[in-house]
Structure 1
Amino acid sequence: MTMAIDPDDTPIVVELVACPASLPLPPLSPAGAPGEMTWRKDAWTPDEIATLRRLFADDVPVTEIAEVLGRGRQGVRDRIYVLGLRRHSQRAWNELEDEELIRRYGNEATAGIAADLGRSCMATYARAALLGLARTGAPPWTPWEDAQLRFGYETGIPIAEIAVLIGRSHCGVATRATLLGQRHKHMPRDWSPAEIERALALQEAGHSYTRIGKILGQEGHTTRSKSAMKAIMRKIGEGRGWGRAWTAEEDELLKAAYASGQSLTHLQRGLSRSAHSIRWRARYLGLTGTHANRAGWRTGPDWSEADLDRLRRDYGRMPTADLARDMGRSKAAIFTRANLLGLSHGYQRPWSEDDKAALAIAHARAIDIRDLADALGRKVAAVHKYAAKQGLAFGRRKRAATPKSLPEILALDAAAPASKGD
């Protein structure tokens, strides 16, 4: 079912297939003629169903529809489900709807909440984000969600578009498809569903396409190139908005992000909008230049205090490539963040007068170059290279049982003859 709600009358798809797709026919009588329908006091009449369809199409809330028909709210909700009705709404949210969303969000499937409120899953997600609601765990999948997933996979609809339609993450849709034994129509044969699922999870974690391709190879899958990752992401519709009209809830969420200065990366993934689409909408709303953009142009995951502590502790003391791999970031991200924190790498930090004095004393006192490097907080290779430029050759020396610190080395009398074993 689609409804035209934007000024250009562009239809917005809110359901791929009705669930259940068809209702069973009543059994035939032995003579072959349809049997007489048993009369029920609560049976829905044709006039009631027509009224229900009309009010539902007019975006009337379920509670008001129940009052007009003189029926219970649960009975109306059940009939809407049986008729396979879905809709997209741009009505303003009221306090009762917000209370209902707060009570149920995170505990029930977004599709079910959206159906009861007469809204799309994306509008429901956007409102939940504005209210600061978060999910602690994914709720069970509903038959309606499974039906949309199967139909979308069979007809080749992008995975990201299916995720927006039913209010699930891209990775969650891929995982569910694997459990249901579904294979996307446009998925290349050399990509397995498990590989797609893992690639989406890594992409949502903020890894680059190059990094994702390497991780897949390390985990037993085929090592993928950057171009291969781009191709598969295009096929499954990752990061594309497909020209969807912006809803009032999405606009409010974007305004809130600009007002608070929060990173737009999470908003981009949550709304399944491209970076270009978000920038375009911000300019359309007059938000250009008001965003604090605290993360700069960075699109990777945010830096936590634990990440910063790890960077301060290990930067320059271990290979940057190893540090980047352990932290799940690129070398460029490590260099950039270290520069913002004012950290100096062992290869780049200039030699102070104390460093030079300690080098001369260590050479005269037969201190091992590895102990000296630890005292100076530099790499052994950096110390060895600088010492060679000064004409100092350390050679093979025995490491001390208790290495001296930099102040202890400076306290030694470099002019006095070194005794064996110092």
Structure 2
Amino acid sequence: MNDDTAPIIVELVPLAAPVPTPSAPLGEMPYRSDSWTPDEVRTLRQLFNDDTPLPEISEALGRGLQGVRDKVCTLGLRRHSTRPWGELEDHELIQTYGKESAATIAARLGRSCGAVYTRAAILGISEAAAPPWTPWEDAQLRAGFAADIPTAQVALIIGRPHPGVYSRATKLGIKHASTPKGWTNAEIERAIELAEAGHSYTQIGVILGTEGFSTRTKSSLQALMRRTGQGKGWGRVWMPEEDELLIKAYRDNASLTPLRNRLGRSVFSIRWRAEYLNLRGTHARSKGWRLGPDWSEADEAWLRRDYGKIPTPELARQMGRTRAAIFTRANVLGLVHEGRQRWTPDHLAALRIAHEHGISLTDLAAALGREVGALHKYAGKQGLVFGRRPRRPQPPTLADILNLSEAAKGEGEG
């Protein structure tokens, strides 16, 4: 179970609105009755940090809502609000999402970028085209890359898709502190896009090679995804918006893979939260928590037909699954690879008898029709150590070994 207790990070470095550069010496400003006083600014900061809704702050200060919003943006204040979303906020989000960055909307609504990004998914809003990046977003990106923070976490902090972070980094000419040697931002961006589309690491490596990048191995891609934080969590608390999106996914029988990518959560975090919310077993699919595709009857029939008859890596490629998924499902179905034998009661008895009567592993392997290495490994798991033993002039058969036990019983009775 994940320990999702870490606080939610809303920004890595503060960045207030830029102060205009004067083009000429400034003259004395006339007094304005609507100017913000130091006491008002302190009150604004206190109420904002206490998660007071902006309309209530406006009423407490006797100022207009837009004026309060402008001052919040000017001061560069940001917070993670746990308040439920209101109709006016949803309406504004629908009207502005995709036209303005999540960072700009978040500052105006007094919420975190992650909350805005997640709420947009709940409302079914998508970005037709990515809005321009703001100076605040660029500042968070630079700080995150320099501090070696996983880029998946940086993406959630600023409310942008994970691949888009690397696209922007390329334009800014920066590289993450832990970028593997020989990898470019463009290549990492494409690899993450393919991973989010559901391709296996083996498939991603091949696709990268066909698109002009280096052909990458499965292990190198696994290492890359670990460094970027793709598919991993970092122990932060769950936001109400995330809970609502998870509930919606179960209610709509939606795939949980896009949800995991959008929230920056691990498989185990999603599974734990679903159980905490009593969602386990309520998904329309019997295995709704699983992030991979379900096994249909046709898939299982295919597996029964070909398992052990063609190489497992090739079967996995044909079925669009990982080798681990093939092995796991075969085990659930009780399938035995043609290259492997089941351990029958006679074979188990022969293993024990051979150990007791000094028969070598080589002779035993020949009698059982097994490989010496596999037999040695299995015997070790049973706590039976054979060591070096001389081979017999006449190798015993399985029946000979089993008869040793009967002969020993006869001698004992005599």
Q: TM-score range by the shorter chain?
A: 0.5 to 0.7
**Bigger Cα displacement from structure 2, 229-238 vs 63-72:** 63-72
State the SS of the aligned residue for 1:182.
Answer: coil
Aligned residues: 304
Q: Contact 2:250/2:288 (CA < 8 Å) preserved in 1?
A: no
Q: Contact 2:137/2:158 (CA < 8 Å) preserved in 1?
A: yes
C-alpha change, 1:244 and 1:19, in structure 2 (3 Å) is same
What's 1:102 paired with?
Answer: 94
Q: Work out whether 1:12 is the aligned partner of 2:8.
A: yes
Measured in 1, the distance between the counterparts of 2:264 and 2:185 equals 21
Counterpart of 1:84, as a letter, is: G
What's 2:43 paired with?
Answer: 51
State the SS of the aligned residue for 2:152.
Answer: helix
Counterpart of 1:332, as a letter, is: M
Measured in 1, the distance between the counterparts of 2:127 and 2:38 equals 41
- How far the C-alpha of 1:60 sits from its partner, in A, is 1.7
- How far the C-alpha of 1:158 sits from its partner, in A, is 0.9
State the SS of the aligned residue for 1:12.
Answer: coil
- How far the C-alpha of 1:66 sits from its partner, in A, is 2.5
What's 2:179 paired with?
Answer: 187
CA deviation vs aligned residue, 1:386-414 (integer Å, no higher than 9, x gap): xxxxxxxxxxxxxxxxxxxxxxxxxxxxx
2:82 to 76, 90, 97: 90
C-alpha change, 1:289 and 1:85, in structure 2 (3 Å) is same
1:117 to 85, 109, 121: 109
Measured in 2, the distance between the counterparts of 1:296 and 1:127 equals 22
What's 2:265 paired with?
Answer: 273
Gaps of 5+ in 2: 295-313, 326-414
Instruction: Work out which structure has the larger RCO, using CA pairs closer than 8 Å and 6 or more positions apart in sequence.
Output: 2
C-alpha change, 1:75 and 1:20, in structure 2 (3 Å) is same
1:206-245 mapped onto 2 (5 Å cutoff): 206-245=198-237
What's 1:331 paired with?
Answer: 318
What's 1:414 paired with?
Answer: none
Q: Work out whether 1:254 is the aligned partner of 2:246.
A: yes
TM-score normalized by structure 2? 0.66
Q: Contact 1:125/1:167 (CA < 8 Å) preserved in 2?
A: yes
1:22-61 mapped onto 2 (5 Å cutoff): 38-41=29-32, 42-61=34-53
Counterpart of 1:230, as a letter, is: Q
What's 1:196 paired with?
Answer: 188
**Bigger Cα displacement from structure 2, 73-82 vs 136-145:** 73-82
Measured in 2, the distance between the counterparts of 1:72 and 1:249 equals 28
Measured in 1, the distance between the counterparts of 2:290 and 2:280 equals 18
CA deviation vs aligned residue, 1:198-238 (integer Å, no higher than 9, x gap): 11121122211111112222222221111110111111111
Measured in 2, the distance between the counterparts of 1:300 and 1:40 equals 65
Q: Work out whether 1:291 is the aligned partner of 2:283.
A: yes
Counterpart of 1:196, as a letter, is: I
State the SS of the aligned residue for 1:145.
Answer: helix
1:69-84 mapped onto 2 (5 Å cutoff): 69-84=61-76
Measured in 2, the distance between the counterparts of 1:296 and 1:165 equals 28
State the SS of the aligned residue for 1:168.
Answer: coil
State the SS of the aligned residue for 1:253.
Answer: helix
| Percent identity over paired residues | 58
Q: Contact 1:217/1:224 (CA < 8 Å) preserved in 2?
A: yes
Gaps of 5+ in 1: 1-5, 30-34, 303-323, 337-422
- How far the C-alpha of 1:46 sits from its partner, in A, is 0.8
CA deviation vs aligned residue, 1:271-303 (integer Å, no higher than 9, x gap): 11111110111111111111123787875699x
What's 2:328 paired with?
Answer: none
State the SS of the aligned residue for 2:320.
Answer: helix
Moved over 4 A (4+): 21-27, 294-302
Measured in 1, the distance between the counterparts of 2:108 and 2:293 equals 35
What's 1:171 paired with?
Answer: 163
What's 1:356 paired with?
Answer: none
C-alpha change, 1:245 and 1:37, in structure 2 (3 Å) is farther
